[in-house]
Each structure stands twice: as C-alpha cells, then as structure tokens.
Amino acid sequence: MDNRNTTPALTTLRSLKPGLDRCRRCDLWRNATQGVGGEGPAPALVMLVGEQPGDKEDLAGAPFVGPAGRILDQALAAADLPRPRLYVTNAVKHFKNEPRGKFRLHKKPDAGEVEACRWWLRQELRLVRPKLIVALGATAALTLFGKAVTIKAVRGRWQQLPEGEVLVTIHPSFLLRQRDSTARRHEFDKFVADLALVRDRALEFDRSFAA
C-alpha cells in the first residue's frame, strides 16, 4: 500500500516504529532492513536530529549506535549533556546504501528523499515538543529549515523556527573522516563547544537539566 498521502497523524511515539516499517513515501525502504525512528523521552527539552541511520543503526533499529554514535556519546559527555534526557532521531528514517560485496556503503539522501521523510520528523516534533533542536549536519538543517543551509554560515548561532530554537553543527561522522589526529581533536573540541551552547541554553529552561 502506498501511504504517501494517507498516513494518519501519529497519536503516540509508540506508533512510530510500525508506521515507519510500512512507509512507502520513497524507495529507500527497499534496501533497508527496517525503519529507524527516534529514541528518548517525550516530552524532551532537547532534540538532536542527524542525517539517516547507518549500517549499525539499520540492523539494530535504533539511532546513533554505530561509530558516529560513539563519537556523539563522547562529545555529549564532554559537554555535560545527558543523552538519556535527549530525544535523538534522524531526518531520514531508512538507510540509503549501495551494496558493495559484503558491505553496504552509505549514500547521502537526495532532496526528494529528505522531503518525503519530513512528515515523520514533523510527527516527532509535534509529540516530543522540544524547545531546543540541534541539527547535526547539512541534511538535518535542510529538513528543519526547508532549504539548503551552509553549516559554516550559521554554526553556533541559535535560529528561531516555529518548532523551537535550532542550533546547527556538524554531524559526528565528519570527525570519522578526519585522518589527521590533530585536526580530528580540533574539530572534536569545536563540536563539544557547540554542544556546550546547547547545555547552557537548556539550563536556562531547567536548572536541573545537566545534573
């Protein structure tokens, strides 16, 4: 069944997973194991939005559990942002990949796939009701702003959207691509500094947030 235009609005986050597994809004489901929704409390003060599930996330059915997720966890710990208090999700819910022998190589979602999946993120935003949203990378920013955003131009500055305040930073997978250890450490520290801005803003809403 093509539920491109007929999917009813979600009433609970519990209905997210079965809905994603039935989703045919684009063709990414064909090469994916399952749909991967968000994880975390609802409501949540802070929502983190990444690009899409990777190979590990596709198999586990959970966001940010692979190599990029480990870097994210390290950066969150360094910034005193407790992951259990965050709602963590992705802009695109199926793993776009290209089979290569025994491996499945990541492919960046195109604008049409991002647009097709924006409905799901809107459902999460409506149910989670975050005040602060972190766009991890350009795809997340495209989904949230509805247009291409240059990370360098807006990074580290809060932007106001109807859904909440948005801060754009890098995706943690960017750090995996840094081969030079000095450059990787420098970029990691910048990423932690961005997340520290989120912590400080969250504390303005809830003084117990980082406890």
Record the pTM. Answer: 0.94
Q: How confident is the model at residue 81, as a pLDDT? A: 97
Residue 5: inside a domain:
no
Coil, helix or strand at residue 8: coil
**Domain at 161, CATH number:** 3.40.470.10
Provide DSSP, 77-100: HHTT--GGGEEEEESS-S--EEEE
Q: Give me the chain's average pLDDT, please.
A: 94
Asked if residue 17 belongs to a domain, the reply is no
52 in Cβ contact with 105 (< 8 Å) = no
Q: What is the pLDDT of residue 210?
A: 77
The 10s digit of each residue's pLDDT in 27-78 is 999 999 999 999 999 999 999 999 999 999 999 999 999 999 999 999 999 9
Model confidence at 211: pLDDT above 80? no
211 inside domain:
no
pLDDT band at 187 (very low <50, low <70, confident <90, very high): very high
Residue 96 lies in a domain: yes
Which position has the higher pLDDT, 79 or 211?
A: 79
The pLDDT, as a whole number, for residue 2 is 43
**Count of domains observed in the chain:** 1
Q: Are strands 97-100 and 164-169 parallel, antiparallel or unpaired?
A: unpaired
Domain presence at residue 65: yes
Distance CA 127, CA 135 (A): 18
* Residue 9 within a domain: no
Q: How many angstroms separate the CA atoms of 50 and 173, rounded? A: 10
pLDDT value at position 102? 87
pLDDT value for 8: 79
Provide the domain limits for residue 126.
Answer: 29-203
Who's near 84: CB < 8 A, 6+ residues apart? Answer: 40, 41
Residue 199 lies in a domain: yes
pLDDT tens across 72-118, in order? 999 999 999 999 999 999 999 999 999 888 889 999 999 999 999 99
Question: What is the pLDDT, as a whole number, of residue 6?
Answer: 57
Q: Which helix (H) or strand (E) holds 146?
A: none
Q: What is the mean pLDDT of residues 127-131?
A: 97
Amino acid 26 reads C
109 in any annotated domain: yes
